């Protein structure tokens, strides 16, 4: 027993029957308004990858965002209908733990303390201050 | 419905745009024959049809949308079945080049220009 329900009593057509139904039907011009597909860009392993939830199997990558966008347009020109718009979503800049955020705290006298929240640290050592 | 002249004969070989080729469709429609148009703006695929096309034809809803809504080579014809009514038969190819035929049922028969259809079934060419 399959998990789906047939919505009517019509048997599923074979490929040849479907081709015959198309061939014997009344041809009409197909108008398809408001078409847009999403292209997502992301950085991965030093390269820029593009994929789309609207196109099964679509995956393009390039060395830079600019180059990847160019490759995407070349690839899609071979498939997409000319009326389809692209909604290109570029990667967002995200701060990670390795990004240093330094802060200078002025102490009493000439004492200056630097703090850093990341792995890299900023060192400030002007001539007349003592770094703690 | 807007009457428009057919722009070309349709008895040519249907060749997929990308990676696969050669499905031969047989309708013959030559230039200067006026024909109507149909708007397909929204395609609804419900869960039962989605399960059916996945199981029987290894097709996903995204692939059907590609073939019907995005492919440059998509073509359509009205099929009037005396038993099961009027449905739009659409041919097209997926991004990966699979030829697909989809049966669409209009949800707004009184206003075909509105363009909302429900997928009845979809098939891919047997390999």
Q: Chain B: residue nearest A85 by CA?
A: B70
The minimal CB distance from A18 to the residues B39, B78, B101 is found for B101
Higher local confidence (pLDDT), A129 or A33? A33
- Tell me how far CA of residue A78 lies from CA of A71, A125, B127, in angstroms: 11, 59, 23
User: Which of B27, B122, B6 is closest to B71 using CA atoms?
Assistant: B122
**Complex ipTM over 0.85:** no
Q: Name the percent of chain A lying above pLDDT 90.
A: 52
The pLDDT assigned to A9 comes to 64
d(CA B91, CA B89): 7
Q: What is the mean pLDDT of chain A?
A: 77
B55 with A2: Cβ contact below 8 A: yes
The pLDDT assigned to A116 comes to 52
pLDDT digits (tens, 9 = 90+) for B44-75: 999 999 999 999 999 999 999 999 999 999 99
Q: Which segments within chain A are labelled E, that is strand? A: 26-31, 36-44, 47-51, 59-62, 85-89, 102-106, 111-116, 130-131
The shortest C-alpha distance from B110 to chain A (Å) reads 17
In this predicted structure, which of A20-29, A101-110, B38-47, B105-114 has the lowest mean pLDDT? A101-110
Non-local (6+) Cβ contacts of A10 within 8 A are B81, B83, B84
């Amino acid at each position: 027993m399959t998990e789906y329900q047939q919505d009517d009593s019509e048997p599923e057509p074979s490929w040849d029957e479907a081709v015959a139904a198309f061939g014997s039907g009344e041809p009409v011009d197909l108008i398809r308004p408001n078409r847009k597909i999403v292209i997502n860009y992301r950085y991965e392993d030093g390269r820029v990858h593009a994929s789309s939830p609207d196109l099964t199997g679509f995956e393009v990558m390039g060395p830079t965002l600019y180059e990847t966008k160019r490759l995407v347009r070349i690839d899609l020109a071979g498939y997409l209908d000319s009326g389809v718009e692209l909604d290109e979503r570029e990667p967002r800049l995200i701060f990670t733990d390795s990004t240093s955020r330094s802060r200078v705290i002025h102490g009493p006298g000439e004492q200056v303390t630097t703090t850093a929240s990341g792995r890299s640290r900023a060192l400030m050592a002007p001539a007349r201050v003592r770094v703690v | 419905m807007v009457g428009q002249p057919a722009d070309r004969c349709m008895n040519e070989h249907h060749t997929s745009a990308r990676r696969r080729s050669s499905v031969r469709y047989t309708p013959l429609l030559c230039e200067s024959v006026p024909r109507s148009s149909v708007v397909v703006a929204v395609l609804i695929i419900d869960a039962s049809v989605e399960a059916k096309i996945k199981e029987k034809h290894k097709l996903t809803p995204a692939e059907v949308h590609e073939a019907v809504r995005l492919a440059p080579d998509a073509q359509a014809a009205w099929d009037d079945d005396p038993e099961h009514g009027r449905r739009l038969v659409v041919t097209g190819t997926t991004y990966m080049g699979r030829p697909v035929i989809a049966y669409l049922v209009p949800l707004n028969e009184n206003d075909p220009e509105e363009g909302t259809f429900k997928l009845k079934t979809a098939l891919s060419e047997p390999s």
